[in-house]
Structure 1
């Protein structure tokens, strides 16, 4: 009861849009449990090392992915699309990596894992012109749900490989 009251109070203070959820949590025992996480903790953000250009970072990430047998399954050059429409945009590209045989094992266990696939790394230029590589903090996902040992090993391996790919990009080394 105390937990529901605290959640309701927090939601009421955070946003006027949260009122219906807060009311549901307070009066309905079947209402969903609400957990809040600091958004910054959900993302790993690495700045490009001095002397590493965005193109160097992309080459290093792609090379590392090939070395690790991770397939580049998608690339969205958002800034190029916006520029083609005549809109000014800082650099923003999203790279999606996957090992299909591992992906299907995770989804067969629980389809919710499909929402986290493929693993994405964004190349982002901030308002000061600095370039960053950003990806989901996969540790949070791995630790949030108990997996069978085989799938736990796959998740940990993928996380390590994604960390290797983003690090190669940030440092420009492969």
Structure 2
């Protein structure tokens, strides 16, 4: 029943968008674009309408791993990917300095390949708003750590089909970010 409802909603959306030009661009889209957006829709609904949940990867960090382990694992997994650490934002430390109060851990790691970033912006200047790629480490109220990063499937497959070699490079960035998050969550060194 749920799949029928989802198919009906997508069908109505496509029909209503046809007057707005959707049908004129559908052949230019990546072959996986509709699957990407269907998954986003499912996550949006199951989260109660949380846009972040629909567009972001989330991984719980294994118990026993702390911020230093997470950082070392992410750094180790980045070796050989061509993605460079271009910045760290120790937000909880900054908030502690500003407020004088202990904060739950909040750190953002930023990674980028300048040459692939250039390809992305040449393909669409809107991609510049997504640069650099980020992994956030968030401590929840129960003291568990979580990793968050932009769902890179949207980047690779969510829009118009990318030309080569950019598409292969975008897929490499996606795969590298996933590898780094998995290492951070599970302690890969």
TM class by smaller structure: 0.7 to 0.9
- Structure 1, gaps ≥5 residues long: 8-28, 30-34
In structure 1, C-alpha distance between the alignment counterparts of 2:151 and 2:167, rounded to whole Å: 16
What's the counterpart of residue 173 of structure 1? 188
Q: 1:153 matched to which residue of 2?
A: 168
Secondary structure of 1:122's counterpart equals strand
Give the superposition deviation at 1:87: 3.5
Which of the numbers 93, 104, 128 marks the counterpart of 1:80?
A: 93
Question: In the alignment, is residue 138 of structure 1 matched against residue 164 of structure 2?
Answer: no
Q: CA RMSD in A?
A: 2.3
- The 3-state SS of whatever aligns with 1:67 is coil
Spell out, residue by residue over 1:58-114, the C-alpha distance to the aligned partner (whole angstroms, 9 max, x if none): 111012112323100011000000001114421100000001111111111211111
TM-score (norm 2): 0.71
2:108 counterpart of 1:94: yes
Q: 1:150: how far off?
A: 1.6
How many aligned residue pairs are there?
147
The answer as to whether partners of 2:155 and 2:170 remain within 8 angstroms in 1 is: no
Runs of at least 5 residues in structure 2 that lack an aligned partner in the other structure: 1-11, 21-36, 45-50
2:52 is equivalent to residue 52 of structure 1: no
> Is structure 2 residue 127 aligned with structure 1 residue 109?
no
Larger Rg computed on CA atoms = 1
Q: In the alignment, what sits opposite 2:34?
A: none
The reply to whether residue 125 of structure 1 matches residue 139 of structure 2 is: yes
Q: TM-score, normalised by structure 1?
A: 0.76
